[in-house]
């Protein structure tokens, strides 16, 4: 393993745009939920004539689908990611629309048969209901409660209240309150392992909401603790939580 300073420096210089995680290959691992969201998403997209993907990142997950409907749009709130998504998906006819939090979805009522998302920031159930056609579906994989909190709390200390957020049953209730009917809800807890301190620096630069204001300089002592543990042959273990949710807008 390279020395501490080298690992930190290369992680600080690495690109974190988009929503790909290839930089972590061989440096970290994450068990995947058993349902295989990308494959299920591709199957759904092949059966409809219009679809919207929310918070698409750089378009990496959406791009795995072999077939898109006639009308395919995606939203993204981070301009560098939106630019990457345009390069990846634009040639395939996908309309990439930049959005801002709290501004609603810039589409007319009843625009889409299917609305999808993989790890949306904060689903706006009222807006999702509005843009779906009657009989249309929302199909998504969400981040669940206390995801990766073993790592987050290594830096920030105990966060008992924050651990309660993103509860799948609370989200399901919110969807129902907006007029949707939840037809499927599955949960998974998946093992994550980080094998070198550079992987930790990189993931915290990419997932900026995990440790707000993170910098290697600010958390140097905490990073050295992790580095010492990893060099002794003990990867840092955390757990991601995910839930698959499907909801239907009832026909009129």
pLDDT value at 196 more than 80: yes
**Which domains are seen in the chain, by residue range?**
4-249 (3.40.50.150)
The answer to whether 136 and 115 have CB atoms below 8 angstroms apart is: yes
Confidence of residue 229 (pLDDT cuts 50, 70, 90): very high
- pLDDT on residue 101: 83
The C-alpha angle with vertex 51 and arms to 244 and 56, in degrees rounded to 5, equals 65
Give the DSSP H or E segment for 190: strand 180-194
What is the pLDDT confidence band of residue 190, given thresholds at 50, 70 and 90? very high
**Mind listing the pLDDT tens digit for each residue in 71-97?**
999 999 999 999 999 999 999 999 999
pLDDT at 192 over 80: yes
39-71 pLDDT per residue, tens: 999 999 999 999 999 999 999 999 999 999 999
d(CA 147, CA 219): 21
Average the pLDDT over 163-175 and give the result: 97
Q: What is the pLDDT of residue 38?
A: 96
Indicate the length of the chain as a whole number.
252
Residue-level pLDDT at 71:
98
Greater confidence, 19 or 117?
A: 117
Average the pLDDT over 222-240 and give the result. 97
Question: In angstroms, rounded to a whole number, what is the distance separating the alpha carbons of residues 248 and 62?
Answer: 21
- 8 Å CB contact between 81 and 19: yes
Query: What is the pLDDT confidence band of residue 102, given thresholds at 50, 70 and 90?
Result: confident
- Quickly state the pLDDT bin for 1 (edges 50, 70, 90): confident
Does residue 74 contact residue 85 with C-beta atoms inside 8 Å?
yes
């Amino acid at each position: 393993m390279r020395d501490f300073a080298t690992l930190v420096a290369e992680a600080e210089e690495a690109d974190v745009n988009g929503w790909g995680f290839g930089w972590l290959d061989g440096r970290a691992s994450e068990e995947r939920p058993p349902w295989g969201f990308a494959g299920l998403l591709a199957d759904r997209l092949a059966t409809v004539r219009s679809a919207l993907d929310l918070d698409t990142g750089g378009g990496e997950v959406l791009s795995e689908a072999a077939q898109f409907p006639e009308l395919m749009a995606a939203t993204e709130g981070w301009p560098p990611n939106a630019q990457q998504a345009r390069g990846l998906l634009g040639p395939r006819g996908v309309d990439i629309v930049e959005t801002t939090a709290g501004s609603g979805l810039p589409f007319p009522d009843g625009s889409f048969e299917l609305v999808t998302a993989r790890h949306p920031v904060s689903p706006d159930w009222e807006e999702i209901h509005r843009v779906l056609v009657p009989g249309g579906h929302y199909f998504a994989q969400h981040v669940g409660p206390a995801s990766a909190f073993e790592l987050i709390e290594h830096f920030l200390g105990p966060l008992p209240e924050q651990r309660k957020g993103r509860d799948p049953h609370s989200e399901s209730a919110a969807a129902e309150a907006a007029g949707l009917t939840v037809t499927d809800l599955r949960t998974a807890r998946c093992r994550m392992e980080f094998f070198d301190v550079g992987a930790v620096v990189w993931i915290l630069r990419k997932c900026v909401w995990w440790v707000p204001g993170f910098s290697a300089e600010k958390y140097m002592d905490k990073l050295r603790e992790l580095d010492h543990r990893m060099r002794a042959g003990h990867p840092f273990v955390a757990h991601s939580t995910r839930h698959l949710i499907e909801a239907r807008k009832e026909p009129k």
